[in-house]
């Protein structure tokens, strides 16, 4: 259920601007897979990876996401 919460609340966690250029693909064994529209955005989000993981886990109230892979 918590994994569904991550997918369902992605936009509120990362904000509208990032949500417009990304799509949550799936969560598998603590790894969140995110589709990203462009390489520059992928690079930007990679630099913010730790911050995004912390925001997600705070929002759902558990340590659900351990890693993010941007594609």
Q: Which domains, ranges and CATH numbers included, belong to the chain?
A: 2-70 (3.30.300.20)
- Per-residue pLDDT at 30: 94
Predicted structure pTM score: 0.91
pLDDT confidence of residue 3: 78
- Contact by Cβ (8 Å): 32, 71: no
Tens digits of pLDDT across the chain (71 residues): 577 788 889 999 999 999 999 999 999 999 999 999 999 999 999 999 999 999 999 998 999 999 999 99
* Residue 1 confidence (pLDDT): 53
Question: By the 8 A CB rule, do 54 and 65 touch?
Answer: no
Q: What gap in Å lies between CA 11 and CA 59, rounded to an integer?
A: 12
């Amino acid at each position: 259920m918590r994994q569904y919460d991550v997918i369902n609340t992605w936009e509120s966690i990362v904000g509208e601007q990032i949500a417009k250029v990304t799509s949550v693909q799936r969560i598998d064994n603590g790894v969140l897979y995110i589709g990203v529209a462009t390489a520059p955005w992928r690079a930007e989000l990679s630099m913010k990876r730790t911050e995004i993981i912390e925001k997600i886990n705070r929002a759902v109230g558990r340590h659900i996401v351990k890693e993010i892979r941007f594609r």
